[in-house]
Amino acid sequence: MKGKIADMAATPGKKDREDREEKRRSLVMDALIRLVREKPLGVIGAVIVLGMLFVGIFANFLAPTGYNEMSLASRLRPPSGENLLGADHLGRDILSRIIYGARISMYVSLGSSGLGIVIATIIGIISGYLGGKADTVIQRFVDGWMCIPALFLILTIMAVVGPGLVQVIVVLGALYGVASSRVIRSAVIAIKENQYVHASKAIGARTRTILVRHILPNVMGPVIILFTVNMGAAIIAEASISFLGFGIPPPTPSWGGMLSDSGRRYMLQAPWMALWPGIALAVVVYGINMLGDALRDILDPRLRGRLGRYGRGKVAAASLSGRPGRRFKRGKAAEQA
């Protein structure tokens, strides 16, 4: 450890900076390469997420009909050649509504976790980097906010601002922003004690420079993880708010809304009405979560060590105890050998 610090101190500033520049540029690339190489489940998740984005963006080209095109003839029609996934109580094609629903889910998930991460980063950096009185005051507010059940906050604020897509995005964004700020704050506190931040301060760098060049790039790991985790949570939350009647009003085809109101009412006569949006929702959230977990495995510095020392340790243990890797063929040890 001591040697490392001495090394860093001895390295000329310019070369050091170039190295870091190199590393910074390749963070995303590096993560992608490792994702494809090591995390098949993460790749499945990524494919699902990209699929949702694709369907959401090109919904108007992909959907056979409009999302609110009613026809009495096809009322409650089971899945068939004409309506691949059936039709609902107003004769609207469910496949089309699910395709347009992907767009709504895309707005909700990207919008609210994007807003959330911006809020979280701002609060986290101010609170973590400045510390002192500002930190104390901000943290008491975050504490208070986190003590109140999220569902109560969501429902109350939704009742105040009224139902609607934008409202849902803003409310969820604010909620995730405050909740995630803790993670960013602790990451910032850990980073600001690093030698290179002290060095940067010593040569007279402005606070803004330190924040932008040193702190921000180093919290990118938690930021990406939080972003994906919140994406999944936002889709579920939107569905739950719509279920309780405070969410996105009809006829907008949100998956949650399709499940909750008419979907529940006609669950006996037309189970497909609640089945398909439920499956779409579950698959997409599953994909987002799997992608998020894979990214966490890759980006969390505490989980570094590519193949895991566990495997190596096990080989050593096995050979010492005279059982050469019998039980470990399945694991990483086999791959490494």
Partner 1 sequence: MRAYMIRRLLLIVPTMFVVTLIVFFSVRFIPGSTIDLMVAEMAGTSGEEVDRDALERALGLDVPVHVQYARWLGVWPQRDGSFHGLVQGHLGTSLWRNRAVLSEILPRLPVSFELGILGLLIGLVVAIPIGVYSAIRQDTAADYVGRSIAIFFISMPTFWIGTMVVIYPSIWWGWSPSMELIPFGEDPVGNLAQFGLPAFILGMYTSGSMMRMTRTMMLEVLRQDYVRTAWSKGLTERTVILRHAVKNALIPVITLLGIMVPILVGGTVILEQIFCLPGMGRLLIECLTRRDYPILCGLNIIIAVFVLLINLAVDLTYAHLDPRVQYK
DSSP-derived 3-state class of residue 93: strand
DSSP-derived 3-state class of residue 8: helix
Residue with tokens 């999220």: 150
Query: C-beta of 283: minimal distance to partner 1 in Å?
Result: 8
Q: Among 203, 321, 324, 326, which residue sits at the site for partner 1 (rule: CB under 8 A)? A: 321
- CA quadruple 266, 268, 270, 275: dihedral, nearest 10: 90
Query: C-beta of 211: minimal distance to partner 1 in Å?
Result: 27
User: Residue 2 or residue 330: which is nearer to partner 1 going by CB?
Assistant: 330
Interatomic CA distance for residues 261 and 328, integer angstroms: 51
Helices 40-57, 94-125: crossing angle, 10 deg rounding: 110
Q: Among 62, 70, 126, 155, which residue sits at the site for partner 1 (rule: CB under 8 A)? A: 155
Q: What single letter denotes the amino acid at residue 234?
A: A
Query: C-beta of 4: minimal distance to partner 1 in Å?
Result: 17
Q: Among 17, 25, 206, 264, which residue sits at the site for partner 1 (rule: CB under 8 A)? A: 264
Is residue 78 part of the contact set for partner 1 (CB under 8 A)?
A: no
Q: What single letter denotes the amino acid at residue 112?
A: S
Is residue 316 part of the contact set for partner 1 (CB under 8 A)?
A: yes
Is residue 324 part of the contact set for partner 1 (CB under 8 A)?
A: no
Is residue 159 part of the contact set for partner 1 (CB under 8 A)?
A: yes
Q: Among 26, 310, 336, 337, which residue sits at the site for partner 1 (rule: CB under 8 A)? A: 310
> How many residues lie near partner 1 (CB under 8 A)?
65
Q: Among 58, 309, 336, 337, which residue sits at the site for partner 1 (rule: CB under 8 A)? A: 309
Is residue 244 part of the contact set for partner 1 (CB under 8 A)?
A: yes
Q: Among 54, 144, 206, 251, which residue sits at the site for partner 1 (rule: CB under 8 A)? A: 144
Phi (first) and psi of residue 87, to 5 degrees = -130, 160
- Select the span of 52-60, 67-75, 163-171, 293-301 touching partner 1 (CB under 8 A): 293-301
Angle made by CA atoms 230, 298, 284, in degrees to the nearest 5: 40
Is residue 293 part of the contact set for partner 1 (CB under 8 A)?
A: yes
- Tell me the CA distances in angstroms from 254 to 57, 208, 245, one per residue in order: 15, 41, 13
For residue 8, the Cα-to-chain-centroid distance in whole angstroms is 34
Interatomic CA distance for residues 329 and 235, integer angstroms: 40
Residues in the chain: 337
Is residue 152 part of the contact set for partner 1 (CB under 8 A)?
A: yes
Is residue 190 part of the contact set for partner 1 (CB under 8 A)?
A: no
Q: Among 84, 190, 303, 337, which residue sits at the site for partner 1 (rule: CB under 8 A)? A: 303
Identify the sign of the CA torsion 161, 166, 168, 174: negative
Is residue 286 part of the contact set for partner 1 (CB under 8 A)?
A: yes
User: For the residues of 154-194, what is the DSSP string, one character each?
Assistant: HHHHHHHH-S-HHHHHHHHHHHHHHHHHHHHHHHHHHHHTS
Q: Among 89, 249, 297, 325, which residue sits at the site for partner 1 (rule: CB under 8 A)? A: 297
Footprint on residues 86-125 left by partner 1 (CB under 8 A):
none
**Are residues 98 and 67 in contact, defined by beta-carbon separation less than 8 angstroms?**
no
Q: Among 128, 232, 247, 253, which residue sits at the site for partner 1 (rule: CB under 8 A)? A: 232
**Are residues 213 and 129 in contact, defined by beta-carbon separation less than 8 angstroms?**
no
* Interacting residue ranges for partner 1, rule: CB under 8 A: 38-41, 140-141, 143-153, 155-157, 159-160, 162, 232, 236, 239-240, 243-244, 256, 259-260, 264, 267-268, 274, 278, 281-283, 285-286, 289-290, 293, 296-297, 300, 302-305, 308-310, 313-314, 316-317, 320-321, 327, 330-332
